[in-house]
Chains A and B, each alone.
Chain A
Amino acid sequence: MLSFILRRVSIAIPTLLVLLIISFWLMQTAPGGPFNSERPLPPQVLANIEAKYGLDQPMWKQMVDYLKGIITQFDFGPSYKYKDRSVNDIIAQGFPVTLHYGLISFMLAIVIGGALGIAAAIRQNSWLDYFAVGITIGAQVLPNFVMAPILILVFTLWLGWLPGGGWNGGQWDHVIMPVIALSTSYMASIARLTRSSMLEVLRSNFIRTARAKGLPDRVIIWRHALKPTILPVVSYLGPAFVGMVTGSFIIDSIFSTGGVGYFYVNAAFNRDYAVMMGLTFLLGSMTILFNMVVDILYAWIDPKIRL
């Protein structure tokens, strides 16, 4: 276990480095810079600004300085566009928000999706099954950039139940719609996955044996079928996590939640190099960390796999 973690960390570091260098290079290659504006700045003014942010240095020097800042002081630099705050500020304010609604969505997707899938599998071909399958397929294909405005229309304008956006420090009524919009498709995926996995397990020999021994259904399902059922679900968690991080862009941009997703995409459009890099670092390490946790979890559930 320990050696597994060490091994993963030892590749994680170069991975992050490569990721940073590639994004940096892509950003710098993109046409236009962070200080292009409708009216071009006088060269003198532009030179001042570039000097202030060190953008007059050669690219490798900028890269080295940037990495040095991260490693020695954990300083991700300033935002070129939103000049009142540094990248550290943006992360400090935006990341807890993303984490907040992201984690709730994630948990909800697993719990409700899993429960729905198991229920559908146990009562295969019942109305519950058809209902679950129908709903999940529908939920899976409705893009969340369609679902989110519909939610606002219904719950804010027509029913007047929920505020149409904003975060307000994570007050519960501001969290509901973002969580629904973000989690629904994953909930549906997990439900379908759990259902088919459960069906497969229920047909397998060891369950037949258990049935033959006359064990009650409850015991069979909870004690024997559950563990093998959730294996494929666990391996889906990694990609689901990455997908949710990406999906948070839409959530932030439609619900004005102020999470890091919007900052990330916006930074790419604004050529706000430091914000882009800081968030690449943050989200990249989160993904790597999460995949590691998933692998450990997987090994813990499935003793056949050794780390």
Chain B
Amino acid sequence: MSNGMAILNPQQPRTAAMAERMAEVKGRSLWADARARFLRNKAAMVSVGVLGAVFIFAFFGHLVTPYDNETIDWNVLGKVKELGKPSLANGHYFGYDDSGRDLFARVVQGTQVSLMVGVIGAAIAVIVGTIYGAVAGYIGGRVDSIMMRFVDIAMSVPYMFVLILLLVVFGRSIEMIFVGIGLTAWLDMSRIVRGQTLSIKNKEFIEAAVATGVPSFTIIRRHVVPNLLGVVVVYATLLVPQMILTESFISFLGLGVQEPLTSWGALISEGTSTMNYGTLWQLFFPLAFFVVTIFAFFFIGDGLRDALDPKDR
């Protein structure tokens, strides 16, 4: 988690600052401009390619190997150090894990879980945060100050411990991990969205909608939320790697997904425990996927932010 916090938050003040400025920019031209700028950003474009490859690996990786993620090769079990090395010849591209299972298949499946946790966790955080922030910002007044006070309070909670307690109390399941991780990450989102909403609220088109008697909720849904899209997208991109990192911490504690399912965090943690026993590939492959993917999300997030923030250019 410590890493997660570290990675997420440096973006936040800038994102917020950018959000304020974005509000000054007119809608239509922004998107076309942004697209062009993003396409020019080499690091971001490479990252899109890399990320695409990782997703393809996750969804189709199982097609290139005859092995699955749970079948033990009894001849290798117990002699992984000697017989379990990565090999193109026998089709165990990434070698074996410590229990004599094909590591390639396990990395494929772990990638699915980690990406799923990342994307769904971020989606939950974004949805909750956006609705909460938009409602608070749009309604304003007392409601706003109470809602935001609550966010202030919640921000001083050590989430990781709440998350551990949630997993302990409500039992462990992948759904609980999604919800737990998502629910502890929406606070920043709600603050940013609220700030944005406040500035959008005073725009003429909203005033016009109010004047013609459109209900508040419809205004939020039809006019406010779509105008928040830029910030939300940037922020979501940066949330995904944070979710993946949080999941890896949970796995390190042994609270992650159940065997034979696995995740990057679980694989890395297992690989770390055996790194001094001559089976370094068990750490290398999952860690490589993990690091590359998080890099890619960073660069894309940075690229999107720069693209959507015209003032930088």
Please give the residue numbers on chain A whose beta carbons come within 8 Å of chain B beta carbons, in ascending order: 11, 15, 18-19, 23, 26-27, 29-31, 137-138, 140-146, 149-150, 153, 157, 182, 185-186, 188-190, 192-193, 196-197, 200, 203, 231-232, 235-236, 238-240, 242-247, 249-250, 264-265, 268-269, 280, 283-284, 287-288, 291
Contacts and interface: CB of A to CB of B under 8 A. Distances in A.
Contacts of A283: 158
A18 B249 contact: no
Contacts of B295: 137, 141
Given A153-B275, A192-B10, A284-B158, A146 B283 contact: yes
- Top 10 nearest A-B pairs (CB, nearest first) are A247-B2, A243-B5, A232-B13, A193-B10, A239-B9, A189-B6, A185-B6, A246-B160, A243-B2, A26-B165
Contacts of B159: 242, 246
Given A19-B157, A140-B6, A146-B268, A246 B291 contact: no
A291 B169 CA distance: 29
Given A26-B165, A143-B248, A235 B13 contact: yes
A236 B10 contact: yes
Given A141-B291, A265-B164, A268-B164, A26 B169 contact: yes
Interface string B1-42: 111111111101110010000000000000000000000000
Interface of B: 1-10, 12-14, 17, 149, 152-153, 155-162, 164-166, 168-169, 241, 245, 248-249, 252-253, 265, 268-269, 272-273, 275-276, 283, 287, 290-291, 294-295, 298, 312
A146 B156 CA distance: 27
Contacts of A150: 275
Contact of B6 (A186, A196, A265, A269): A186
A141 B3 contact: yes
B6 to A, nearest CB: 4
B153 A15 contact: yes
A236 B15 CA distance: 12
A240 B9 contact: yes
Given A23-B165, A143-B245, A269-B168, A244 B2 contact: yes
A196 B3 contact: no
22 contacts: A23-B165, A137-B295, A137-B298, A141-B291, A142-B3, A145-B249, A145-B269, A146-B283, A149-B272, A153-B275, A189-B6, A189-B7, A189-B9, A190-B10, A192-B10, A193-B10, A240-B6, A242-B159, A243-B3, A243-B9, A246-B2, A250-B252
B294 A141 contact: yes
B252 A236 contact: no
A264 B53 CA distance: 40
Contacts of A269: 168
A295 B142 CA distance: 22
A280 B161 contact: yes
A141 B160 CA distance: 18
B228 to A, nearest CB: 21
Contact of A140 (B3, B157, B252): B3
A61 B47 CA distance: 57
B157 A284 contact: yes
Given A137-B298, A142-B291, A243 B152 contact: no
Contacts of A146: 268, 272, 283, 287
A27 B253 CA distance: 18
Contacts of B169: 26, 29-31
A217 B190 CA distance: 40
Given A11-B149, A143-B268, A150-B275, A239 B5 contact: yes
Given A189-B10, A265-B253, A269-B168, A240 B5 contact: yes
Contact of B3 (A138, A149, A185, A265): A185
Given A27-B165, A141-B291, A189-B10, A15 B1 contact: no
A233 to B, nearest CB: 8
Contacts of B3: 140-144, 185, 243, 247
B252 A188 contact: no
Given A30-B165, A30-B169, A283-B158, A140 B17 contact: no
Contacts of B156: 15, 19, 242, 284, 287-288, 291
Contacts of B249: 143, 145, 250
B158 A141 contact: no
Contact of B312 (A190, A200, A245, A247): A200
Contacts of A243: 1-6, 9
A150 to B, nearest CB: 7
Contacts of A189: 6-7, 9-10
Given A146-B287, A193-B10, A236-B9, A250 B2 contact: yes
B6 A188 contact: yes
A157 B276 CA distance: 10
Contacts of A141: 3, 7, 241, 245, 290-291, 294-295
Nearest to B265: A143
